[in-house]
């Protein structure tokens, strides 16, 4: 596997359980899902994450809109 420059290393990988933390995301904050793909484009250096929500809806997010669900659950209690 080729090493990505630091700025391009993904925050999440396929299989990570994540929670939506951004109020500007296209779904309600607190929605839970699993990352299915890390998306790169030739247009910019910003990574995007395809997530399958628990509801069965696939949505693409920016990294700042997500957090690890395990970390979120631990801080909520």
Q: What is the pLDDT of residues 20-37, one digit of tens each?
A: 999 999 999 999 999 999
Query: pTM score, two decimals?
Result: 0.80
Q: How many domains are contained in the chain?
A: 1
Residue 1: inside a domain, yes or no?
no
- Average pLDDT over every residue of 49-62: 97
Residue 53: inside a domain, yes or no?
yes
| Containing structural domain, residue 16 | 6-76
Given a cut of 70, is residue 70 above it in pLDDT?
Answer: yes
| Contact in structure between 18 and 66 (CB atoms under 8 Å) | yes
| Contact in structure between 24 and 40 (CB atoms under 8 Å) | no
CATH of the domain at 40: 2.30.30.750
């Amino acid at each position: 596997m080729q090493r990505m420059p630091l700025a391009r290393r993904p925050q999440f990988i396929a299989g990570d359980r994540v929670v939506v933390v951004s109020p500007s995301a296209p779904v309600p904050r607190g929605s839970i899902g699993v990352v299915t793909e890390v998306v790169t484009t030739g247009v910019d250096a910003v990574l995007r994450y395809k997530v399958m929500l628990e509801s069965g809806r696939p949505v693409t997010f920016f990294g700042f809109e997500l957090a690890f669900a395990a970390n979120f659950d631990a801080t909520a209690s």
